[in-house]
Structure 1
Amino acid sequence: MLALQVSSLVLLLLSAIVNVISLATDFWIAASGSHFGLWRVCILDICGTLGNGADIDATRAFSIISLLLLLVAVLMQILEIMFNTVLSGTNKQKLTAILSFCAGASALIAMSVFTGSARPSGSTTYSWSFALGWVSTGLSLVAGAAAFLAFKHNPQ
């Protein structure tokens, strides 16, 4: 059971780190000499802010919501592992699983919106920041599964 809790915590931390990197970098779409992310666009090493659009705003919002849910899930998992007497009236393991699944669902919505709206063609391709967004989505869902299994082994 402790192994599942620790693995869930590690996966949550990895997911949060990957999510921050994905949000902060501007290599979601790349073409020859240019690239852009959720916040900036760079053309021939001259960068500026990216304008607002419904699809970009939705991707930003759901990615940030996912990150916040991941951080709360990390906190709950740490409280469950190290300080079990804190918030003793709540089932922190169950809450961690729910938060992880909600973070994964939010990240899935963000990535799906971006995938559906930014359709690269020709020499334009999705880049590594975009891939990290999908990795964060998967890690969140796997962390939720590990937290749920830890809850099922010891429901308290």
Structure 2
Amino acid sequence: MGSSRLGSGVVLCLALVFTILALATPVWIASPNLSFGLFKGQAGSVSFDVAKGDAEKVAVAFLVLAMVSLLAASILVIIAAKVEERDRLGKIGGASAVVAALFLLVAMATYTGLAKDLVASPTIKWGYSYALGWVAFCLAVIAGPLAIFAK
């Protein structure tokens, strides 16, 4: 059993969970009494729908593509770690993880470009949902090549 490949699969599962949380939670941009997500916003205890422009739609689309790629990569890498004869599956899973990292990069960079002027205000900060997206990207970048080159 390939322990480095199994570790890579666990990291990919963690990246998948972080991507799902980033997409689902409403704190991409936060201020003391207001937060915005990709779908919902919250002002105090009042929740409201966020108007979606092209950049938000691109971010959502690429986050969904990243989730599908991360799911496939996780499954393939874990199978390859458990069954020694499935080395090719591990390499395909690692390549899928690298593709997922590219999808995450496009999603996060698009949203960063959209909101960089808004976050320049001293009272408005990037939220934890935004941070989870970047952490998922970093995990996919690390786990993908590890799965490809692991024995």
Question: TM-score w.r.t. structure 2 length?
Answer: 0.91
SS at match of 1:30: strand
Q: 1:35 is matched with which residue?
A: 35
Preserved CA contact (<8 Å) 1:33 1:45: no
| 1:79-90 paired onto structure 2 within 5 Å | 79-83=79-83
Number of equivalent positions: 148
1:101 counterpart (79, 94, 98): 98
RMSD: 1.6
How far the C-alpha of 1:103 sits from its partner, in A, is 0.3
Question: TM-score w.r.t. structure 1 length?
Answer: 0.88
Q: Does 1:147 align with 2:147?
A: yes
Q: 1:54 is matched with which residue?
A: 54
SS at match of 2:52: coil
Q: 2:71 is matched with which residue?
A: 71
Give the letter aligned to residue 138 of structure 2: G
Preserved CA contact (<8 Å) 1:4 1:149: no
Q: Which has the larger displacement, 130-139 or 47-56?
A: 47-56
After the TM superposition, list the runs of 4 or more consecutive aligned residues in structure 1 that deviate by more than 2 angstroms. Answer: 81-85
SS at match of 2:60: helix
Query: Where does the alignment leave 5 or more consecutive residues of structure 2 unmatched?
Result: none
How far the C-alpha of 1:149 sits from its partner, in A, is 1.7
Q: 1:121 is matched with which residue?
A: 120
Query: Where does the alignment leave 5 or more consecutive residues of structure 1 unmatched?
Result: none
Q: 1:11 is matched with which residue?
A: 11
The structure-2 alpha-carbon separation of the partners of 1:22 and 1:69, relative to structure 1 and needing over 3 Å to count, comes to same
Q: 2:21 is matched with which residue?
A: 21
